[in-house]
Amino acid sequence: MNHWIIAPVLLPALVAAVIILALRYQVSTQRVFSVASTVALVGIGIGLLVHSMSGQIDVYELGNWPAPFGIVLVLDRLSAMMVLLTALLALAVVLYAIGSGWDKRGNHFHALFQFQLMGIFGAFLTGDAFNLFVFFEVLLIASYGLMIHGGGAPRLRAGVQYVIYNLLGSTLFLFALGTIYAVTGTLNMADLALRVADLPADDTAMIRVAAMLLLLVFAVKAALIPLHFWLPATYAEAPAPVAALFAVMTKIGAYAIIRIYTLVFGPDVMATADIIGPWLLPAAIVTLAIGMIGVLGASHLGRLAAFAAIGSMGTLLIAIALFTPQSITAALYYMIHSTLAGAALFLVVDMVRARRMAEDDTIASRPAIAQNGLIAAFFFATAIAMAGMPPLSGFLGKLLVLDAVRDHNLVWVIWAAILITSLVAVVGFARAGSMVFWKVEPDATEQTPSGTAAALPFVATGGLVAAIVAITVFAGPVTAFLSDTSAQVFDKQSYIAAVLETPRAIEAENLPLEGSKK
């Protein structure tokens, strides 16, 4: 067994505990631990990704319990890629939080941050549906604390809304898991895949209900219309580094949809094949439209970034809804791109806020902010990426999506939706950018906060923009890897074989429970 697989879960959990127990009042030491842990996670992420490139699926049996009975962590190309993406994002976010002083505005930022990372990595790595629920709760409960970090009435009220929405989502998740367990008698994803495929064709009502309930849960996470209402207020009110980290939270919903609806309820499973894609696709198109119209209509930069995140989830879910290897490849590329670009946009918005009076982020002309030119350049780059204009990765991502839907019978609707909403987004970003950065009030007498001229926030944001440029320049190798990833995602036999037939230290034969419940 490769013990590195559990490192992304264990390391942040341990570091968080050390920070909260031993370093409660020493913010500078907390920073050292947090950055060191995040750098180590990037290293581990790179190691796991390189390891997974061979195409081998690695299984980590917790407590050495064999697969359908114990909980397993599974490392394949998809989960390794998501772990590395999250680790890179986390590094930029933690540097920004330190540079901008956000981590000093309340207690326990770094501890909660590490717990949040633990939950996210766990959700990407687990191979058990109930364990997925538990890791969702870990990342959610950390995110509740991060969301209201720094306090203030508007943030607390938005936080209450966010918590209530997600508690309802968790309840729905439990209902779905209960139904799945009642029907199949297992919650291990590989075992589920076998049993769902074996269900008699005339007895699928319950599993169809469960599949839809589970889709609703992931749709809440992925902010799919009409379950997106928690996102705009949450992202706009959350502290900027937290909002940037949340850019990967919606992608967890997308990841879970890819994982569960290819492996367990795949397109080849007769019972559920006709309900998932046909529901997901129209909802995704409407999500895209609402998101981009929201970009055009936003009156505050925070809202603009939040609606841009919704719009990018729309494009991503359109590609996912087709469930073909080519469309998943496009979806994965767009997922990497929109995580980086969405996070960079939130950081740029926060740089503007920090340099204006009273953290005002209204899209209106105000006195020029400090470092106006550099921040405007960052905004310009991220806006180009988010809107999907050439030359950055948003353009390539949208091109891949457009290419992937070519054979679908709704191809004209999808093309029209993506192209028209791109235009709407371009107009929206251009309006916001010119109002905020160009149409500055000439009145120089009003004092604006000089802003922390610290280099670290610029390094963090610049790092994210550099990553966007990197996935654009290296789009060829990246898509080649993603196309292997997508092929592996659809090869469910090898996943099932890897999980259920991994050689064990203790031979699991002659178990009394054979063939019955888990």
Partner 1 sequence: MEYLLASAIGALTAAGIYLTLRLRTFPVILGISMLTYAVNLFLFASGRIAINLPPVLLNNTPTYADPLPQALVLTAIVISFGMTAVVVLMALGAFLSSKNDHVNLSGDAADEQEVGK
Contacting positions for partner 1 (CB under 8 A) = 130, 134, 137, 141, 144, 148, 151-154, 156-161, 163-164, 167-168, 170-171, 174-175, 177-179, 181-182, 233, 512-513, 516-518
User: Which of residues 154 and 391 has its CB atom nearest to partner 1 in the complex?
Assistant: 154
* Dihedrals phi, psi of 133, to nearest 5 degrees: -60, -45
Which residues contact residue 35 at a Cβ distance below 8 angstroms, ignoring those fewer than 6 apart?
91, 94, 95, 98
Query: What separation in angstroms does the CA of 365 have from each of 300, 378, 443, 478?
Result: 12, 18, 11, 40
> How far does the chain reach from its first CA to its final CA, in angstroms?
22
User: Which of residues 174 and 480 has its CB atom nearest to partner 1 in the complex?
Assistant: 174
Shortest reach from residue 503's CB to partner 1, in Å: 25
Shortest reach from residue 382's CB to partner 1, in Å: 26
User: Which of residues 134 and 293 has its CB atom nearest to partner 1 in the complex?
Assistant: 134
Shortest reach from residue 149's CB to partner 1, in Å: 12
User: Which of residues 56 and 161 has its CB atom nearest to partner 1 in the complex?
Assistant: 161
User: Which of residues 170 and 502 has its CB atom nearest to partner 1 in the complex?
Assistant: 170
**What is the per-residue DSSP string for 408-433?**
STTHHHHHHHHHHHHHHHHHHHHHHH
Round to whole Å and give the CA distance between 35 and 96. Answer: 11
Round to whole Å and give the CA distance between 118 and 121. Answer: 5
Round to whole Å and give the CA distance between 217 and 229. Answer: 14
User: Which of residues 183 and 400 has its CB atom nearest to partner 1 in the complex?
Assistant: 183
Shortest reach from residue 139's CB to partner 1, in Å: 12
The answer to whether 298 and 235 are in contact (CB under 8 A) is no
Shortest reach from residue 337's CB to partner 1, in Å: 30
User: Which of residues 143 and 326 has its CB atom nearest to partner 1 in the complex?
Assistant: 143
Round to whole Å and give the CA distance between 341 and 268. Answer: 34
Shortest reach from residue 513's CB to partner 1, in Å: 6
> Using the 8-state DSSP alphabet, how is residue 224 labeled?
-
Query: What separation in angstroms does the CA of 203 have from each of 85, 181, 211?
Result: 41, 15, 14
Shortest reach from residue 501's CB to partner 1, in Å: 22
Shortest reach from residue 263's CB to partner 1, in Å: 21
Which residues contact residue 365 at a Cβ distance below 8 angstroms, ignoring those fewer than 6 apart?
435, 436, 439, 440, 441
User: Which of residues 160 and 454 has its CB atom nearest to partner 1 in the complex?
Assistant: 160
Shortest reach from residue 496's CB to partner 1, in Å: 21
User: Which of residues 167 and 270 has its CB atom nearest to partner 1 in the complex?
Assistant: 167
- Residue 339's nearest CA partner among 88, 36, 38, 79 is 88
Round to whole Å and give the CA distance between 166 and 264. Answer: 24
Shortest reach from residue 32's CB to partner 1, in Å: 29
How many residues in total does the chain contain? 518
- Using CA atoms of 326, 329, 330, 332 in order, give the dihedral in degrees to the nearest 10: 160
User: Which of residues 210 and 318 has its CB atom nearest to partner 1 in the complex?
Assistant: 210
